[in-house]
Chains A and B, each alone.
Chain A
């Protein structure tokens, strides 16, 4: 579904991504992890077209993302920090998206998160007046709103309360069972444990590890994702 080849990006002198090759397939739920500054967000933003890479090619569902913006119809994105126009009301935000995407046919809207988070209650509030967690809720509902085939979530659980967190994780799991592709970054590995079946570990702009969770589990003999990762990193370090 998403294929990244030879992707490189530099900000000034700082190399953020270097020759990254990746393939994400339907039904995969990818945990994109790595230390701070390893290039996770830049990778995601490159896929979304927010960051223009220096080199390399990205294809989403077989189409080069530079040729047309239409591939973004199939992507739902929840950014790390939800920033919205401050004066806009929540309901205006949703109707704006409706307005902009009018004329796309065969789309069934997905309001389940909208309802589960009870966004109706805050529909008339200005987005600038919402708390950080509420903004995250709106942002999550928006990511799933147009029923996308691909869902990309950048640190989705950071600002959410435990109940909302569970609602979101259940939603992600339902999407995976529908055969959607989900890509999640997070530092909270225990959250990823329940929703991901594949791990991509980025370090200093390169792919350090790209394997399914089952594979890693059998290699390390651990059950929990955080233990697996720690063990793998220790093993690699001792190899070197």
Chain B
């Protein structure tokens, strides 16, 4: 088991793309603290990286890596190893690589320069987003034979959660402003891991203007602590659910 995970992670760090990803995160994470004297602003800047850059890079990279590893996976499949162990090793190995990059590039400077609850939640939500979007990318890749089609679907998923979802929510809020739709908006927020991650972090900062309507309703409804716990529980569901479907598909797939 550990052999597969360590092999994937080591192989990952041989590719230039993940090194560039790590360096990019490190430059942003460490650089922002050096350049900006107000840590509150740094938190918000890193939040933007978490919400937009992180999902994009992890999901695109995971898709490329899955197809690139098809030979490796086939080599494993003819060994006396269970398929469930292979996909678990692949999933964890890949995530471990991303998580290491994130912790070194973003997590460490946050903990050193601004060790607060907001920083902690920022790191946690970033890690969740990294795993969730890796999972979504693998979910698509295991169901598709064609790499470019997978890539298209993955980018669409990213765009949907990053801005299309917000747009739709905003449109609904405008159209139905006369009606009591707060609870509906609140419930729909749980359908988007990116929105949840934003709300968890912003609730802890002074910048509540960034919460938007859904966030304001959220804060009003749950209060910050209960809200954070429920949000994290939702992120856990978002992490586990794709993996269950990836595993199911991988066990019955033809190679």
Contact = CB atoms under 8 A, between A and B. Distances in A.
**Chain B interface extent, by class:** 20 to 34
Interface of A: 11, 45, 48-52, 69-73, 75, 77, 79, 83-88, 93, 96-97, 99-101, 104
A85 B72 CA distance: 5
A48 B80 CA distance: 10
Contacts of B72: 85, 88
A100 B78 contact: no
Contact of A69 (B7, B71, B75, B82): B82
Contacts of B71: 83-86
Nearest to A152: B78
Nearest to B255: A50
B77 to A, nearest CB: 6
B156 interface: no
A72 B255 contact: no
A71 B82 CA distance: 11
Interface of B: 3-4, 7, 11, 14, 69-72, 74-83, 252-255
A88 B71 CA distance: 11
B80 A70 contact: yes
Nearest to A74: B80
Most buried by A among B4, B7, B11: B7
B254 A51 contact: yes
Given A83-B71, A87-B14, A52 B77 contact: no
B66 to A, nearest CB: 13
Contacts of A71: 80
Contact of B75 (A84, A99, A101): A84
Contacts of A50: 74, 77-78, 254-255
Contacts of A79: 74
B3 A72 contact: no
A88 to B, nearest CB: 8
A69 B79 CA distance: 8
Given A50-B74, A84-B71, A85-B72, A45 B80 contact: no
Given A11-B254, A69-B80, A96-B7, 19 more contacts: A45-B254, A48-B78, A49-B83, A50-B74, A50-B254, A51-B254, A52-B252, A72-B78, A72-B81, A79-B74, A83-B70, A83-B74, A85-B11, A85-B71, A85-B75, A93-B75, A100-B4, A100-B79, A104-B80
